[in-house]
Structures are given as C-alpha cells and as structure tokens.
Amino acid sequence: MSPDEIQAGQIPDLPVEASNLPSPELEVFEQHAHPSHLGEELRALLTLAIPVVLSELGWMTMTIVDLIMVGRLGPDAIGGVGLGNAIYYAPSLFGIGLLLGLDTLVSQSWGAGRFDDCHRSLAQAFYIAVAFTPLLMIFMLAAQWIFTGRGVDPTVAVLTRSYVGILNWGTFPLLVYGGFRRYLQGVSRVRPVTFALVTANLVNVAGNWIFIYGHFGFRALGVRGSALSTVFARVYMAAVLVYAAWAHEKDRGHALFEHWPAPDWTRIRALLKLGLPAASQVVLEVAAFGAVTVMAAHLTPIALATHEIVLSVAAYTYMVPLGISAAAAVAVGHAIGAGNPARARRAGILAIAIGAGFMALMAILLIVIPKPIISIWTSDTRVLILGAHILAIVAGFQIFDGIQTVSTGALRGLGETRFPMLMNFAGYWILGLPFGALLCFRLKWGLSGLWTGLTVSLILIALVLIARWLKDSRRPLAA
C-alpha cells in the first residue's frame, strides 16, 4: 500500500457511516472532523495539541525525576541510570515508532467516518507490539553488555546492567501504551493521554521513594528500585489508556474486546510500511544527538557538562513542537479522510506556524537570559560562560527545529513517512555530523563546532521538509 493509496482512503475494510453513531459520538465527530471556519480549525488543532504537548513534557519529566532521586546515592548511581537510559532509549523509541502508522490510518479512517476501521487498525498495532517486544528485549539485553564493557567503570557497569535488566520488563506495557495512545489521539481523545502521563509521574515518584530508599517494609533496592518503579509506572500508563479506549468504544455501543479482530496481514503490512520509516527517522535523530555527546566526551569535562545541560534545554523546548507534530498528523489525517485536501493543507500550515512561533519565543529567551537558564543546573562560572555561547547557537536553530518537527507530523498525516527519514539521514549523518566534527576537531572550534553542525543539519532538514509539505499538500485526492 503506497502513501498515495493511503491518502486516497484506500484502506481495506468496508466503511461505517458516521450517521450510525450515537448522538454524543456524532457531535464530537462533527466538531473535530468538520470545522467550518479558520478559527474553529485553529481551536480544534489546539484542543488536540495542548494535551499532547503536556504529555510529551510529562514523559521527559519522568526520566529527569529518576536521575534526581537516584542522585542521593552518589555519582556511580547517576552514571548507572544515565547510561542505562541511554542504552534503553533508542530501541524503545524504535518500538514505539513502529506504531506511528496509526496516526495515518486511524485519523484518516476517523475523518472518513469509518470508526470500526479505527478499531481494526488498533488491533493490528497490538499484534505488532506483541511480535516485536521479545526482539527488542533480546536486543537490549545484548546492548547492555556491549555498552558496559571495556572502558566503563566496573561499578557503573554493574549498576547499569542491573538497571536495564529490570527496566526491560517494561517494554511490552510501553508499546501497548504507545499503540493505544496513537489510537486515542487519532480519534481525538487526547485528555486520557495527558491524565495517564501526569498521574504516572506521581506513581513513579512514589515508587522511587519506596523502592530506591526502602519504605513501607520494602528493602532499599537503589538503582534497581528506580527501574522497578518505572516498570510499574508503564504498566499503569498502559492500563489507563486501555481503559480509556474501552470506555470510548463502550460509549459508541461497540465493546472493545467482544469484537477484537484477528490478525489482518494486509493492514499489518500497511502499518509497518508507514511505521518502519517513521521509527527509523526517530532513531536517526536521537542517534545523531547521541553521536554529538560521544564527540563532546572527547573534549574537556567543562565542555561535556555544558553540552549535557544545553542538550537538556534543547530537548525541553523540542517537546512542544513534538506534541504539535502529533496533533498535525491527526488533524491532517482527519481532513484527508473527510476528502477535504484544502482543510488538510490549512491544518498543516497552522500547525507549522504554531510550532515555529513557539520556538521563536524560545529562541528569544535563550538569547536574553542564558545564564539564569543554565544556573538551574549549575553555578560553575566556566559552564555559565560557555553555556551562554552555546545557547546562542541553539537559539539559531529553534525556529527550524519547530518547522522540521511539525512538518514531519503533517506529512505523516498524508501517509508520507519515508521522505522525512531520508532527509534526517542526509541532514544529520551525511552533512551535519561530519561538518560539526570538522569544525570541532580540525578547526579547533570545540563544542561550538559540534552544535554548529547540528544547526546546519536542522536548517537543511526544515527547508526541505516544509517544501515537500507545500508540494504534497497541493495534490488533489483521488476519488
């Protein structure tokens, strides 16, 4: 199934008419899938985007809280958890990325009024999660030994392996959460996603307090306790979203599990055809910033510390356009499913403008108050001075980061995931990283050179992706 076929609505199942829905479901469908004015379209987009943005911020907060709470155990524990998260992060994101095809199939089906079709796509995504979970777990078991081998402090290595060994058991609930999240976003049920992540942070904090330090009769488990708490939080997140999906189906008179579809290989292939490039694109981007971290580790300790702080700042600002990107995929998919390419184009442009506008504000803040921002992490004068200089470079790519992120989501709503993957590979790995390494090591720019290389990458990717969006969104739909 090609992106053009997906965009044309050629998804293999008979349609279910929106008029057959109970009145509450029909009302929500009409409000979100068929806004009639630009102001209504903007409100519909923000209604989708704001809860998803909060969810992305909640997701990142959970990792930061883990590091803060194990910090009391000493630098070895911080190193073990930090390295463990680095090992686990990319493979787990790849697994979640495999399910990003739900953004396209569910949102387009929902926009067309084929609500049972949304349910069938969710079921096939669940089968993908079941199939890929053992593969990801085996990969991460091998990776923890590879990345804790020669050159890593023995104490940190032992802590890392014990941390990843427990964290690995949270892989399946993490993928279930990812699949049900894309489904709920696709049918414009975003509040349960926000609720799940906000309350999961509370579950994680409580679990850390109990299992890391030993309370309520439990013995102190240290970094293993942090991993155990994260696993419980992921089980909780998955359970909340499964319940939310069940309640959504129940409200429209369709029991979620009584009509659970069997494996549909055509639909599974369609999901993987969309999801594999999307997952690869996410991993390429994460790995690019990881590669810069590895190169920064060959500089001075001050440079590495500055890099880690700046990376945290850039990651936090990135969460907002990332949430808007998910909303753009859904809004564009709804319009495509409804057979309204003009509205799909407006939705994408609105989302890109919102993402770029927010990042423009962040760029101003990074230029105006860099030292107060860095002082959240440290009061070291050397880090403050170097960090202010690097944040000025980061400010230079903020708008472009917003554009490329949201453009990727808008293209996903059209069914295009392969092109953003190729552009990420070319922008980061062929141009940006080699150029940054040249500036850093050969021309002696140091950390500034590495971040300049990232800036060049993001500018190129943003310009190419927005051009592709403006081109593809003009194409008329098939019948």
CA-CA distance, 32 to 403, in Å (whole number)? 24
8 A C-beta contact, residue 11 and residue 102: no
Nearest Cα to Cα of residue 88 among 222, 231, 281, 221: 231
Nearest Cα to Cα of residue 317 among 352, 274, 349, 365: 365
Nearest Cα to Cα of residue 334 among 95, 41, 55: 41
Ranges of each domain in the chain: 3-472
pLDDT of 12 over the 60 cut = no
| Rounded mean pLDDT, 76-87 | 73
Share of the chain above pLDDT 90, in %: 27
Q: Which of 229-233, 423-427, 472-476 has the lowest mean pLDDT?
A: 472-476
Nearest Cα to Cα of residue 375 among 385, 389, 363: 385
Nearest Cα to Cα of residue 328 among 123, 104, 145, 117: 104
Q: Which of 24-28, 166-170, 348-352 has the lowest mean pLDDT?
A: 24-28
| Rounded mean pLDDT, 409-433 | 91
Q: What is the pLDDT of residue 405?
A: 93
Give the model confidence (pLDDT) of 369-418 as tens digits. 998 988 877 778 888 899 899 999 999 999 999 999 999 989 988 888 89
Which carries the bigger pLDDT value, residue 431 or residue 144? 431
8 A C-beta contact, residue 62 and residue 237: no
pLDDT of 261 over the 60 cut = yes
| Terminal alpha carbon distance of the chain | 16
Instruction: Give the start-end residues of each E strand in 28-166.
Output: none
| Cα separations in angstroms, 127 against 130, 216, 288, 301, 323 | 5, 38, 30, 46, 26
Is the overall model pTM greater than 0.75, yes or no?
Answer: yes
Q: Which amino acid is at 470?
A: L
pLDDT of 184 over the 70 cut = yes
- Here the tokens at position 149 are 């081998």
Share of the chain above pLDDT 70, in %: 88
Buried b (16+ CB within 10 A) or exposed e, 186-213: bbbbbebbbbbbeebbebbbebbebbbb
Across the chain, mean pLDDT equals 82
Residues 457-461: contacts with CB under 8 Å, at least 24 apart: 457/288, 457/427, 457/428, 457/431, 457/432, 457/433, 458/397, 458/400, 458/401, 458/404, 458/427, 458/432, 459/397, 459/400, 460/426, 460/427, 460/431, 460/432, 461/400, 461/404, 461/423, 461/424, 461/427, 461/428
With cut-offs at 50, 70 and 90, classify the pLDDT of residue 451. very high
| Rounded mean pLDDT, 123-144 | 90
Angle at CA 471, nearest 5°, toward 467 and 477? 150
Phi, psi of 416 (to 5 degrees): -105, 110
With cut-offs at 50, 70 and 90, classify the pLDDT of residue 360. very high
Determine which helix (DSSP H) or strand (DSSP E) holds 32, and give its type and residue range: helix 23-33
Give the model confidence (pLDDT) of 319-329 as tens digits. 889 889 888 88
Q: What is the pLDDT of residue 25?
A: 44
With cut-offs at 50, 70 and 90, classify the pLDDT of residue 352. very high
Angle at CA 228, nearest 5°, toward 225 and 231? 155
| Cα separations in angstroms, 344 against 108, 184, 330 | 11, 20, 10
Q: Which of 94-103, 229-238, 355-364 has the lowest mean pLDDT?
A: 94-103
Nearest Cα to Cα of residue 96 among 167, 172, 192, 193: 172
Q: What is the pLDDT of residue 477?
A: 53
pLDDT of 311 over the 90 cut = no
Give the model confidence (pLDDT) of 157-173 as tens digits. 788 888 888 989 999 99
- Here the tokens at position 428 are 């980061």
Give the model confidence (pLDDT) of 86-107 as tens digits. 778 878 888 888 888 888 888 8
